């Protein structure tokens, strides 16, 4: 498995990979919603505010993750992991964990201080995320499942609460995604 940073495949192919993954697990309608979200994220988010990481298996894209900037009234740099996709035939083999680890390492190397995600605590704990509260890091929109609000420090300084409010990139500023 090869893990790459940056837009190494066409934006349409990235969106299609997400659509296929989410359609397989949650139905065609959800696949279409996530495809539109990813296409909007890629089209509207400035380059410094978006990191794209892709997993290739013998040159074929099989997974992709996006990290976008999350702003607080704080000097620290924060990025949120959303969404994550691994094609169904490659799930359960560590591809997602390897991809997320690669992405976190790249963010750490670029000076990002903190990473947040919103998802299954059991899954994301495998790559170092732990539950956080909204007192520690306010969410930009109401969370439907607060137990899934997760974070991890990428710097050597001890994490301290972030001053709100939080502001995400426009594509993620959609209550339906939270």
d(CA 85, CA 94): 12
pLDDT in tens, 36-60: 999 999 999 999 999 999 999 999 9
Question: What's the token pair of residue 136?
Answer: 């520690």
The dihedrals phi and psi of 7, each to the nearest 5 degrees, come to -85, 85
Cβ atoms 54, 63 nearer than 8 A? yes
Q: What is the pLDDT of residue 27?
A: 95
Q: Is the pLDDT confidence value at 158 over 90?
A: no
Q: Record the pTM.
A: 0.95
Q: Residue 111 CB: number of other CB atoms within 10 A?
A: 9
Which domains does the chain possess?
Answer: 2-170 (3.40.630.30)
Q: What is the pLDDT of residue 25?
A: 94
Indicate the pLDDT class of residue 164, thresholds 50, 70 and 90: confident
Q: What does the DSSP assignment read for 132-174?
A: --TTTS--SS--S-GGGEEEEE-SSSPP-PPPS--EE-GGG--
pLDDT in tens, 104-137: 999 999 999 999 999 999 999 999 999 999 999 9
Q: Which residue has the tokens 């979200």?
A: 37
Q: In the beta sheet, which residues pair with residue 53?
A: 5, 65
Cβ atoms 55, 18 nearer than 8 A? no
């Amino acid at each position: 498995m090869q893990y790459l940073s940056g837009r190494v495949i066409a934006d349409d192919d990235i969106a299609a990979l997400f659509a296929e993954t989410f359609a397989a697990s949650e139905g065609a309608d959800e696949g279409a919603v996530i495809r539109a979200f990813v296409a909007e994220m890629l089209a509207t988010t400035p380059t410094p505010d978006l990191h794209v990481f892709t997993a290739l298996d013998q040159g074929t894209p099989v997974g992709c993750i996006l990290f976008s900037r999350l702003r607080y009234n704080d000097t620290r740099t924060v990025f949120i992991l959303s969404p994550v996709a691994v094609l169904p035939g490659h799930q359960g083999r560590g591809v997602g964990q390897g991809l997320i680890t690669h992405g976190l390492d790249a963010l750490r190397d670029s000076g990002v201080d903190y990473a947040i995600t919103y998802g299954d605590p059991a899954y994301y704990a495998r790559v170092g995320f732990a539950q956080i509260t909204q007192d520690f890091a306010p969410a930009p929109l109401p969370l439907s499942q607060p137990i899934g609000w997760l974070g991890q420090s990428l710097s050597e300084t001890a994490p301290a609460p972030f001053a709100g409010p939080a502001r995400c990139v426009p594509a993620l500023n959609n209550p339906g995604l939270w």
